[in-house]
Amino acid sequence: MTSITISSLIGRSRGASGIRGSLRRRYVFTTGAAAIVLLAIVATAGSIGLNRSMTQQQNAILTDAARRSALLVDRVLAERLRQVDLIAWESSVISAARKGTAASRRHSLPLQTISSLEERFKTTRSQQVDSAALEFLLDLLPKLDIAEVMLTDQYGYNAVATSPPTDFVQSDEAWWQTAWKAGVTDAEAAEDRATGETVVELARAVRDHGLRVGVVKAKFGLANLDSALVQAGVGTSLRVDLVDSVGHIIASSAGGKRFQFLRGAKDLSRAGSDSILTFGSADELQRGAVTSANDGHWRLVAHGDEATFGAPLMRAQLALLAGAAVVLLALIGALTIVSRSIERRITSPAAILAELAEAVAAGDLSRHVDHSDTEDEIGRLTRAVAAMVGELRRLAGALGSSAQETSAMSAEITAGTEEMAASAGEIAHTASELSQQSTGMAQSIQSLSTSAEELVRIAGDLRDGAHEGVERNGHLRVLSLESRSKLDESSRALELLAKDVGASASAIEGLASASLEVRSFVTLVQKLARQSKLLALNAAMEAARAGEHGQGFAVVASEVRRLAAMSSEAAQRTEQVMGGVLRGIDDSRASSERSVKAVRQVLDATEHGVRSFAAVAEAVETNEAWTTAIERAATAANTLVAEITKRLTQLSSGTESFAAAMQQVAASSEQQSASTQQIAAAAAALSHAAETLSQLVANLRLESAPANAGGPPRQSREPERQGPNVLVGFPKPATA
């Protein structure tokens, strides 16, 4: 069994040493892996956040450019529309439209077909009825960047044109019909077939004192729109294109040929206003912001190359990756330094101490421990292990000498205890016979004493109960008197409360009457306000009839009307407030009636309680007298029974004392005999344990310990050869 215990302990020590040897690698690898995973998570989150932030910033720049372009385009169109309005309001233009209508009627043009009219005017395609209007329009062309101006009469025939138009009759055109009916057309971009240039067309009806006499149409150049788009894209590398509803490029900040399809025009038609989308081919993918202009008829697209947008993001992600790599290298270097420090300061000293502990567990106390002056945990552990080994050496020597002395003393104790056991047996037999005789007599007396004590207890309970009944009756009488006085006070307070509630109800009735008077006054004010309005209306009518002489009276009438309106409004508000006050008064009146009824009910209940408490007080006085008589009788009976119990107790005490003395003598004799036997058995076991201990201590190896071992000096060499294996799992000696 000794070999099994030592082997198992050595195995546990070696296993623990192996675990300690792997702890450094485990901790370092676990910490490094966790730090790398955390760094990867942070880098990934940073990359995602950076991508999102830069994308939002770029989209904001695109949206801002598109919105600024839309504002500038709408401003240019508004200015062009204002110029067309000025042309339509010019007197020479109005006169030319009238002259064109008169000429058409004179030549019976409305009676001819459109084809015959086109054939008739195929050379000029205009009647050119007014040279002054033509000169005025030609003078405006270079000043306002106008490509062409055309004026028609009310039949839609060209009256004046700055350049030959494509056809003579315009009444069959959609723009002319819209301008004639609605008064103005939306700006439309078109390719002028006469000049081959892209222009913006605007048309407005010409009116003379509210009557439509013709339609003027102006075709503007796109220089202003190009300038507006260039101005919107200043400070950015974005391109801003103005496209129509089908995707034709009307104007662009980058110039180029007009009226071409913009790549991804189909996607633009499906995009909503102020939206971000990507369009174009895979090789030239564009990202742009789309917004509407010209009342939703045109789209403004601020866009740029997706690769250009992605370049800053790529640079930022590369910088983030480089930073993460630097942090990773620094982390690996720090973990390497920490690992080496742990190896030098913890792992190596712990391995040495583990080998020493394994040797001590195997019974070898001859190992030496190097002294350590450090103040950390490993230094303290080294000094403690050195002190422990020294103490084990000293303890092994002390156990060897103690085992020899114990063996000699146990032999002497065994001989003396055998003689004591024989004498104790004779004494125990005699004491046992005396104890049996006295026990019978004590039991009889004890039974009688018990009955007397039970009688005393019953008499005492009766006396205590009677006394408590007297006290409770007294308290109940005092409580009933106090309750009756409080009920009297409550009754008087309730009578006062009933009077106050009645007074409050009377006051509420008076307040209701006053409120009705106020409502009557408000009704009178409303009637006065209505009468004042009628008087003000009559006064205003009289002032209007008087003309200039009645202006002062009209001012007075207006002021009277205003005061009447104010009075009517104030009366309405007052009536609403008084309606709420009257409803509150009605609620208060109902509450007061319920309060009066409740107070009366409580007053009746209080008077009934006063009468009930008077009856209770009389019953308590009768019960108190009866309970006092019971208490006196119970006291006398208790005194008599107590005297009997006292005499029985004295007799029982004497008999019990004698029986107890005999029992104690017998018990002492038996205990002495048992103790003697136990001492003998313990002495035998102690002798056996001393022999076993001597054999075990002899198996330990002890050598001269160095001065720096930390343990106390040895006394002799022999004790050190007896090892402390009893401390590491040897079985204890058997005891009796």
Question: Which pair of structure tokens corresponds to residue 251?
Answer: 């104007």
Q: Give yes or no: residues 303 and 411 share one domain.
A: no
Q: Give yes or no: residues 386 and 278 share one domain.
A: no
- Rounded Cα gap, residues 603 and 499, in angstroms: 12
Interacting residues of 699 by C-beta distance below 8 A, sequence separation 6+ = 363, 722, 723, 725
CATH number (domain holding residue 153): 3.30.450.20
pLDDT grade for 662, boundaries at 50, 70 and 90:
low
Question: Cβ distance 616 to 480 under 8 Å?
Answer: yes
Strands (E), 297-356: 298-305
- Classify 245 as helix, strand or coil: coil
pLDDT grade for 648, boundaries at 50, 70 and 90:
low
**CA gyration radius, the chain:** 62
Give the CB-side neighbour count of residue 3, counting CA atoms within 13 A. Answer: 0
Q: Is residue 34 part of a domain?
A: no
State the DSSP H helix or E strand holding residue 287, giving kind and residue range, or none if neither.
Answer: strand 286-293
Look over the chain and give the mean of its residue pLDDT values, rounded to a whole number. Answer: 75
pLDDT grade for 212, boundaries at 50, 70 and 90:
very high
C-beta atoms surrounding 259 within 10 Å: 14
- Rounded Cα gap, residues 159 and 495, in angstroms: 108
pLDDT grade for 195, boundaries at 50, 70 and 90:
low
* Cα–Cα distance list, 248 to 63, 146, 266, 295 (Å): 21, 21, 11, 17
Q: Is residue 20 part of a domain?
A: no
Least confident of 43-47, 507-511, 563-567, 705-709: 705-709
pLDDT at 206: 94
Q: Give yes or no: residues 302 and 391 share one domain.
A: no
Least confident of 7-21, 251-265, 376-390: 7-21
Question: Cβ distance 13 to 728 under 8 Å?
Answer: no
Task: Specify the higher pLDDT residue, 467 or 43.
Answer: 43
Q: Is the pLDDT of residue 658 over 70?
A: no
| DSSP letters spanning 90-113 | -HHHHHHHHHHHHHHHHTTGGGS-
Least confident of 16-25, 545-554, 629-638: 16-25
Q: Give yes or no: residues 413 and 264 share one domain.
A: no
Q: Is the pLDDT of residue 441 over 70?
A: no
- Domain end position, chosen among 266, 282, 308: 308
| DSSP letters spanning 390-440 | HHHHHHHHHHHHHHHHHHHHHHHHHHHHHHHHHHHHHHHHHHHHHHHHHHH
Mean pLDDT of the 438-455 span: 65
pLDDT at 416: 64
Q: Is residue 326 part of a domain?
A: no
> CA triplet 592, 596, 600: central angle to 5 degrees?
165
pTM for this model (two decimals): 0.45
Cα torsion 652, 653, 658, 662: sign:
positive
Closest CA to 288 of 223, 246, 299, 75: 299
Question: Cβ distance 200 to 189 under 8 Å?
Answer: yes
Q: Give yes or no: residues 405 and 499 share one domain.
A: yes
Helices (H) and strands (E) in the chain, counts: 12, 10
Q: Is the pLDDT of residue 581 over 80?
A: no
pLDDT at 427: 63
Of these ranges, 191-195, 333-337, 496-500, the one predicted with the greatest mean pLDDT is: 333-337
State the DSSP H helix or E strand holding residue 242, giving kind and residue range, or none if neither.
Answer: strand 239-243
Give the count of domains, the chain: 2
Give the CB-side neighbour count of residue 251, counting CA atoms within 13 A. Answer: 26
Q: Give yes or no: residues 570 and 459 share one domain.
A: yes
Identity at 132, one-letter amino acid code: A
Closest CA to 217 of 267, 255, 163, 271: 163
Q: Is residue 467 part of a domain?
A: yes
- Rounded Cα gap, residues 302 and 240, in angstroms: 4
- Report CA dihedral (489, 490, 492, 496) to the nearest 10 degrees: 140
Mean pLDDT of the 62-68 span: 85
Q: Give yes or no: residues 412 and 561 share one domain.
A: yes
pLDDT at 181: 92
Task: Specify the higher pLDDT residue, 731 or 505.
Answer: 505
Three-class secondary structure assignment of 681-729: HHHHHHHHHHHHHHHHHCCCECCCCCHHHCCCCCCCHHHHCCCCHHHCC
pLDDT at 176: 94
The packing angle between helices 551-697 and 377-546, to 10°, is 170
Percent of the chain with pLDDT over 90: 10
- Rounded Cα gap, residues 164 and 127, in angstroms: 11
- Domain end position, chosen among 261, 292, 308: 308
Question: Cβ distance 413 to 683 under 8 Å?
Answer: yes
- Rounded Cα gap, residues 356 and 362, in angstroms: 10
pLDDT at 447: 67
* Cα–Cα distance list, 157 to 171, 172, 536, 608 (Å): 7, 10, 57, 114
Tell me the per-residue pLDDT of 179-189, one tens digit each, with 9 for 90 and over: 999 999 988 88
* Cα–Cα distance list, 378 to 169, 344, 373, 389 (Å): 111, 11, 10, 17
Cα torsion 543, 549, 552, 553: sign:
negative
pLDDT at 684: 72
Question: Cβ distance 199 to 147 under 8 Å?
Answer: yes
Q: Give yes or no: residues 284 and 429 share one domain.
A: no
- Rounded Cα gap, residues 110 and 156, in angstroms: 10
CATH number (domain holding residue 434): 1.10.287.950
Q: Is residue 517 part of a domain?
A: yes
Identity at 590, one-letter amino acid code: A
Give the CB-side neighbour count of residue 609, counting CA atoms within 13 A. Answer: 18
Question: 253 lies in which domain range?
Answer: 64-308
Q: Give yes or no: residues 255 and 390 share one domain.
A: no
Q: Give yes or no: residues 282 and 388 share one domain.
A: no
pLDDT at 7: 40
pLDDT grade for 93, boundaries at 50, 70 and 90:
very high
pLDDT grade for 666, boundaries at 50, 70 and 90:
low
pLDDT grade for 153, boundaries at 50, 70 and 90:
very high
pLDDT at 342: 75
- Rounded Cα gap, residues 176 and 154, in angstroms: 10
Tell me the per-residue pLDDT of 494-537, one tens digit each, with 9 for 90 and over: 777 777 777 777 777 777 777 777 777 778 777 777 777 787 77
pLDDT grade for 428, boundaries at 50, 70 and 90:
low
DSSP state of 169: B
- Classify 68 as helix, strand or coil: helix
Tell me the per-residue pLDDT of 457-488, one tens digit each, with 9 for 90 and over: 776 776 777 677 777 767 777 776 777 677 67
Question: Which pair of structure tokens corresponds to residue 231?
Answer: 């101005």
Least confident of 130-134, 355-359, 424-428: 424-428
pLDDT at 534: 80
pLDDT grade for 728, boundaries at 50, 70 and 90:
very low
Three-class secondary structure assignment of 637-683: HHHHHHHHHHHHHHHHHHHHHHHHHHHHHHHHHHHHHHHHHHHHHHH
Question: Cβ distance 673 to 428 under 8 Å?
Answer: yes
State the DSSP H helix or E strand holding residue 343, giving kind and residue range, or none if neither.
Answer: none
Q: Is residue 253 part of a domain?
A: yes
Mean pLDDT of the 650-678 span: 66
Mean pLDDT of the 61-82 span: 87
Task: Specify the higher pLDDT residue, 320 or 662.
Answer: 320
Q: Is the pLDDT of residue 706 over 90?
A: no
Closest CA to 331 of 615, 29, 608: 29
Closest CA to 484 of 618, 578, 328: 618
Q: Give yes or no: residues 79 and 181 share one domain.
A: yes
Q: Is the pLDDT of residue 172 over 80?
A: yes
- Rounded Cα gap, residues 124 and 222, in angstroms: 27
pLDDT at 593: 75
Q: Give yes or no: residues 261 and 132 share one domain.
A: yes
Distance spanning both ends of the chain, measured CA to CA: 22
- Rounded Cα gap, residues 493 and 481, in angstroms: 18
- Rounded Cα gap, residues 661 and 193, in angstroms: 148
- Classify 293 as helix, strand or coil: strand
Residue keyed to tokens 């039974």: 447
Q: Is the pLDDT of residue 50 over 50?
A: yes
Burial degree of 350 (CB within 10 A; 0-12, 13-18, 19+): buried
Mean pLDDT of the 535-555 span: 76
pLDDT at 647: 67
Q: Is residue 705 part of a domain?
A: no
Q: Is residue 333 part of a domain?
A: no
Task: Encode burial over 397-407: b for 16+ CB neighbours within 10 A, e otherwise.
Answer: bebbbebeebb
- Domain end position, chosen among 659, 680, 695: 695
Mean pLDDT of the 141-150 span: 88
Burial degree of 444 (CB within 10 A; 0-12, 13-18, 19+): exposed
Of these ranges, 190-194, 375-379, 537-541, 717-721, the one predicted with the greatest mean pLDDT is: 537-541
Closest CA to 356 of 379, 389, 378, 331: 389
Question: Which pair of structure tokens corresponds to residue 27?
Answer: 């901790």
